[in-house]
């Protein structure tokens, strides 16, 4: 249709990168692209920490479950929900900071950070770079916060590893049929027959991608993943950071 749409529709996560740092020019354009994203009421409530130090990358990789593509990559960015700047401004202006501790303000910061990250991801892919989000950093948010010296009113959300892809066979992973995602006017109950055909499609996708080593439907993957309670330390961490308390 056009180059932007082609880039968006051609997305797949890259998990093997050349051992080559992004150039200063690439870094600058990626950060600028991230910052161009819409931001709720202009709050710009996020920070991005670029991790070029290999030792810190190794530590982050260990937290994230030894994901090698966080170490051998062009750059590893960590996206932080960040209301610390707002705390400083409110204190300077002698405005009560209690509002910063509400769930609404945490959500605003998390949404802002996610929009900025996805802008960066698309910009990177448009330059022929590969990307992969790294939610694994939330395996130990406390350790991440210590490692990155995070102040109160901040939370590490996810990493984004960006680099020069090493040639691979990956193809865009088929998404849910539009009928299950896009609802006309009001919410529609899920059509189980459509789900069943998608499950079959995903089974075939994994079968082909892994040469038969993994044959799993989308429903099976969800039951194994999102059906499990995990990272139960997040609530206490948010409270410690003065976030999401009301
Ligand atoms: C917030 C977020 C966190 C993710 N965390 C990881 C991760 O820790 N490790 C990983 O290999 N992929 C991670 N992914 C990538 C997803 O697994 C991937 O986007 C999904 O399976 C769809 O595949 P695709 O991106 O190739 O289309 C993450 C994606 C998102 C959006």
- Predicted confidence (pLDDT) per residue in 47-97, tens digit: 999 999 999 999 999 999 999 999 999 999 999 999 999 999 999 999 999
Distance (Å, whole) CA 208 – CA 220: 17
Which of 108, 47, 53, 109 has its CA nearest to residue 78? 47
Which percentage of the chain shows pLDDT scores above 70?
A: 100
Given the structure tokens 């870094």, which residue do they identify?
27
For residue 5, the model assigns a pLDDT of 97
**Banded pLDDT at 167 (limits 50, 70, 90):** confident
Q: Give the position, in ligand 1's atom list, of the atom nearest the Cα of 172.
A: 27
pTM of the shown model: 0.97
**Banded pLDDT at 196 (limits 50, 70, 90):** very high
Largest CA distance in the chain: 63
Strand 46-51 to strand 154-163: parallel, antiparallel, or no bridges (unpaired)?
unpaired
**Banded pLDDT at 153 (limits 50, 70, 90):** very high
DSSP letter for 173, please.
P
Distance (Å, whole) CA 82 – CA 43: 10
Distance (Å, whole) CA 35 – CA 76: 17
**Banded pLDDT at 17 (limits 50, 70, 90):** very high
Which of 158, 88, 165 has its CA nearest to residue 124? 165
Name the strands in the sheet holding 154-163, side by side, starting at the edge strand that comes first in the sequence: 46-51, 75-82, 154-163, 130-134
Q: Is the CB of 118 under 6 A from ligand 1?
A: no
Distance (Å, whole) CA 100 – CA 233: 21
For residue 170, the model assigns a pLDDT of 73
Whose CA is closest to atom 15 on ligand 1?
133
Q: Give the position, in ligand 1's atom list, of the atom nearest the Cα of 69.
A: 11
The average confidence (pLDDT) of the chain is 96
Whose CA is closest to atom 20 on ligand 1?
13
Q: Is the CB of 158 under 6 A from ligand 1?
A: yes
Q: What is the mean pLDDT of residues 216-227?
A: 95
3-state secondary structure of 240: helix
For residue 60, the model assigns a pLDDT of 98
Q: Give the position, in ligand 1's atom list, of the atom nearest the Cα of 64.
A: 8
Name beta bridge partners: 160.
77, 133
For residue 171, the model assigns a pLDDT of 81
For residue 28, the model assigns a pLDDT of 98
For residue 1, the model assigns a pLDDT of 85
């Amino acid at each position: 249709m056009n180059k932007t749409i082609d880039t968006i529709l051609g997305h797949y996560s890259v998990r093997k990168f050349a051992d080559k740092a992004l150039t200063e020019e690439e870094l600058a354009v990626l950060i600028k692209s991230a910052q161009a994203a819409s931001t709720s009421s202009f709050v710009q409530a996020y920070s991005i920490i670029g991790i070029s130090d290999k030792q810190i990358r190794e530590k982050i990789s260990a937290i994230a479950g030894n994901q090698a593509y966080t170490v051998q990559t062009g750059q590893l960015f960590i996206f932080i929900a960040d209301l610390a700047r707002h705390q400083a401004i409110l204190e300077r202006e002698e405005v009560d900071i209690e509002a910063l501790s509400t769930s609404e303000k945490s959500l605003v910061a998390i949404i802002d950070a996610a929009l900025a990250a996805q802008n960066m991801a698309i910009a990177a892919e448009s330059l022929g770079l590969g990307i992969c989000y790294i939610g694994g950093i939330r395996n130990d948010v406390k350790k991440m916060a210590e490692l990155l010296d995070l102040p109160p009113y901040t939370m590490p959300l996810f990493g984004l590893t960006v680099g020069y892809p090493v040639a691979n066979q990956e193809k865009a992973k088929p998404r849910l049929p539009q009928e299950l995602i896009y609802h006309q006017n009001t919410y529609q109950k899920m059509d189980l027959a459509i789900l069943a055909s998608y499950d079959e499609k995903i089974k075939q996708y994994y079968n082909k991608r892994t040469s038969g080593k993994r044959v799993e439907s989308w429903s099976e993957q969800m039951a194994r993943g999102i059906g499990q309670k995990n990272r139960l330390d997040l609530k206490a961490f948010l409270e410690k950071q003065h976030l999401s308390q009301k």
